[in-house]
A and B are shown apart, each in its own frame.
Chain A
Amino acid sequence: MLSKTIKTFTALVAMSALGATGAFAQESDDPIIIPTHNWNSQIVMSHVVGKLLERAGYNVEYTPTDSQAVYESVRLGDVTLELEVWEGAFGQSFNAALKKGGIVDVGDHNAVTREDWWYPAYMEELCPGLPDWQALNRCASQFATPETSPKGRFLAGPVDWLKHDQERVDALGMDFIVVNAGSASALWAELESASKRRAPIVLFNWTPNFIEAVYEGKFIEFPEYGKGCKDDPAWGPNKEETHDCGNPANGYLKKAAWDGMEAKWPGAYRILEKLSFTNPQIAKMAALVDVDELEPEEAADVWLDENEQVWKSWLQ
């Protein structure tokens, strides 16, 4: 059965290489539904993968979905797969869905993710000693606002991203107050406003992200993450508190799929297993939209044209 699928599949690849998009009756004709979220690298990646699946003869549809709620939709088969499961941001929702059943782990991308406190490059002049966290703490008063004065203000991501920033501030005895933004847009709006005025700001950021292409900056170096930091008080510089460390500097970026996908579109599932993107590739996808102002579909075409050697092997 499997070898037959692979055989038809190679035939298909050969066909599409000749430019013929023949009917492919072996697998389901139902569309594979790819969810798109509200950040551009994910949307471009979705279109890149969607276009690859189309070249392999599948019907593909895209549907905009909330990036946390999507795991429930994958579980129910309302959407077929998810291309960016971030360890830090969505690990919890993903694990909860795994436990409930209906969703499968399809492996990691080559890319690693990092989510932590971050500052724009000009801060290094204003606060010498960065990116060290103790240097940051010495400059805390520069970041103060009327609500937080005399302590500094750290602009964190939305509460539901569950980053434990407050616990870290307490555990490391930092002079900062955590203020939660309500959305990623709110973070960028403040960064944009602050960096135009070269005003002090330290905020939550992550990589890969389009922000890297627009603003230079660095992550704060906290005591390095290690196993036990988040639940063993004895671990790390503070012997009585947990969370006395930074976030992992190399979190996973996973692919996930509905558990019915493999049976319904076996060839597509194989492609999903094989494909993997690196940090620079993802950054490039984001930059095509955020810097070059292409539409996501066009950006996907450009990316596919420029990176044929990357994706060719996934289709075989």
Chain B
Amino acid sequence: MMLARPWLPDALLRPPAVLLLPFADWLNAFSDYLQNDLQLTIFTRAIADVVQFILDVVNNFLLGGRKGLGLPAVPWLTVAALAGLLGYFLGGTRLALLSGGTFTYLALFGQWKLAMQTLALVFVSAPAAVLIGLLLGIAAQRKRWLEVSIAPLLNIAQSLPHFSYLLPVVIFFGVGHHAGAIATIIFATPPMIRMTLLGLKRIQPEIIEAGRTSGCSPRQRLWLVEVPSARQEIMVGINQVIMQCLAMVVIASFIGAPGLGYKLLLLLQSLRIGDAIEIGVSIVLIAIMLDRLTLAWAYRVPEYHGDERFLVRHKYLLGAIALAAVSIAIAALEPYFYFIPRREGLSTGFLWDPIVDWITLNLFDPLQVFRHFVALYILIPVRDLYQWAPFSAVMLLYTGLGWCIGGRTCALLIFSFLGFIALSGWWDRAMITAYMITVAVSVCIVLGLTLGIWASRSPSRAKRALLLCDTFQTFPSFIYLIPVIMLFQVNDLSAIAAVTIYAMIPAVRYTIEGLRNVPVPLQEAVTSAGANRLQRLVQLELPLALPHIMVGINQTVMFSLFMVVIAAFIGTQDLGQEMMRALSFNDLGKGLVLGFCVAFLGLTIDQLVSHWERRRKRELGLAE
């Protein structure tokens, strides 16, 4: 069909106008109906007030002030000391240093207030998301129809860009701290549902049987037998919720959440990159600290000390009380340990700015040649190809691929995903998005695999590389945008570069994990058969790790779709750009339709990759 393009009727080149369906108008009409006829806003605003009140209480505890319970704030020294003790309790000295150190950093660098506003948001959103996710997960495990209907919704929800959640939240819940919290809850709940469901389904039937024979009521069986047995998965779910909450920190500030994210955008706006990087470091530290704390909690084996003396049994509790008392006393004597205002805080901002200056001054011209070459010989041709391809041919190609890899259902799903994009009238924009992520993902695969293979060659290198992955994943991606523009100017290359930096993380991570998990006996067998290291890598390790690496590439596609929307801040002409516009003009329907287009692009790839991966694993005998 590509070859026959000149003879194809127009209707097969571009989706014909008569076929386009006004999805956006339907969604807007539906939203108006919910708002005006059903008066749903009365209900949602009541929820908003409750969330706001809880936020006020948490905020009050962390920062003081008139609202909430009207108590004075807890000194930073106390928070840091208690966090350190908690870290010690859960994971020993290293974790104690990490958690105590994080809070000390936040205080010394004068970011206490901002960080506490952000933490308040996490402390409210994360438990809410965990609770809702847990309950929905349990319900889905109980009721087959719920599980069946919730699965596709979860898929879509997890591939919708963050920005699509914002407008519905603004319309039904208003703007402000609470709106940021609600958007975060909505965004963070799906992984919790998924992990709860997974955990409950993995329980051995014998355990449930044992619960039944020991005379539990259904409710007791659920909370005393099943949920504790699924503990590991549930804990991983909680961990994912926390990471999702921190990923929303910057985006939530678009609808009124104060804190680190809002400050970060402001600093970028006035080009204070050094200060922005400091805020980024704070967000990374908070994320890594919460991540390690929850993981330590998840893998902690419960201890039972029924017969110890009171003092020994409650040593941590008593220690906490003592630490709190001492630190509050110190803070009362010396205000520096109570609160450090921004101006008295340390700053490394002056260090970063010369670095950024040096890069723009010295790297710009050498990169000019590279930039011209890439733009003229790679980007513009690929872009033209994507724009030139008849939509019918693209749909046919992917549906056919789906058929070959995953069979009829897979083909049908892909056909409807792409069909939606075609009928929504955003085909051309979607192809620009597709072109950008194709280029970015290709670069990610080449660089990510290379880095991953290199890092996986030694355990310590792998560990350091994974820590770097964690860091970059939680480092707010908005910060990359500015230096990238300074080097590449406002154009597609900048956007693609920014997407590549962010989307490479899963490619590296999964390659390392996949290669490190190749069974050692197999490796030894091949080595003793006389294979050298390169042969072993190419003929044993890579093929065995490939299914896992493909999961990573699938994630890379998802990451790049999220980031391509954020790259609209550089200036693009794709779906992301239109989504920003919809957000500016409060066009809920358009924003959601664009969100679905992005999600369906991702899900098309997801269908292909996950079917392929499952088949491949079966062939390799890695799964039943």
Contacts and interface: CB of A to CB of B under 8 A. Distances in A.
A160 interface: yes
A181 B174 contact: no
Given A66-B254, A79-B175, A146-B371, A179 B585 contact: no
B486 interface: yes
Contacts of A79: 175
Interface in B246-283: 253-258, 262, 265-266, 268-272
A159 B584 CA distance: 11
Interface stretch (A3-11, A129-137, A184-192): A184-192
Interface in B272-312: 272
Main secondary structure of the interface of A (DSSP, over half): mixed
B256 A295 contact: no
A93 B585 contact: yes
B63 to A, nearest CB: 14
A260 interface: no
B18 to A, nearest CB: 27
Interface string A159-196: 11000000000000000000111111110111011001
B571 interface: yes
A182 B585 contact: no
A289 B270 contact: yes
A190 B175 contact: no
Contact of B481 (A68, A179, A185): A185
B572 interface: yes
A126 B485 CA distance: 23
Given A145-B489, A146-B375, A197-B364, A69 B266 contact: no
B507 interface: no
B376 A146 contact: yes
Contact of A188 (B269, B483, B572): B269
B49 to A, nearest CB: 12
A146 B278 CA distance: 35
A256 to B, nearest CB: 16
Contact of B570 (A181, A193, A290): A181
A190 B487 CA distance: 9
A212 interface: no
B68 interface: no
A265 B445 CA distance: 60
B255 A189 contact: no
Contact of A193 (B171, B254, B343, B485): B485
A40 interface: yes
Nearest to A184: B269
Contacts of B257: 64
Contacts of B266: 38, 40, 43
A189 B482 contact: yes
Interface in A63-81: 63-66, 68-70, 72-73, 76, 78-79
A14 to B, nearest CB: 24
A259 interface: no
Nearest to B572: A182
B490 interface: yes
A186 B570 contact: yes
Nearest to B484: A189
A76 B270 CA distance: 31
Nearest to A31: B67
B586 interface: yes
A167 to B, nearest CB: 18
Size class of the A contact interface (CB-based, 8 Å): 35 or more
A145 B266 CA distance: 30
* From B256, B265, B567, residue with most partner A Cβ within 10 Å: B256
B577 A193 contact: no
A158 interface: yes
A104 interface: no
A181 B342 contact: no
B389 interface: no
B177 interface: yes
B44 interface: no
A182 B174 contact: no
Given A43-B266, A186-B569, A192-B271, A65 B175 contact: yes
A65 B265 CA distance: 12
B355 interface: no
Interface string B47-82: 000000000000000000000000000000000000
A185 B482 contact: yes
A39 interface: yes
A293 B483 CA distance: 21
A73 B179 CA distance: 12
Contacts of A190: 485-486, 489-490
B271 A185 contact: yes
Interface in B478-518: 481-483, 485-487, 489-491
B256 A65 contact: yes
A155 interface: yes
Interface in B345-361: 357, 360-361
B360 A295 contact: no
B463 interface: no
A179 B269 contact: no
B586 A72 contact: yes
B406 interface: no
Contact of A159 (B485, B491, B577): B577
Top 5 A-B residue pairs of the complex, sorted by shortest distance between their CB atoms: A68-B584, A182-B571, A193-B486, A189-B485, A78-B174
15 contacts: A35-B175, A40-B270, A63-B176, A72-B170, A158-B580, A159-B581, A160-B580, A180-B490, A180-B571, A185-B268, A188-B271, A189-B481, A192-B486, A193-B487, A196-B361
Given A69-B584, A181-B490, A181-B571, 13 more contacts: A35-B175, A64-B254, A64-B262, A66-B255, A68-B584, A146-B372, A147-B380, A147-B491, A182-B567, A185-B482, A193-B360, A290-B270, A298-B343
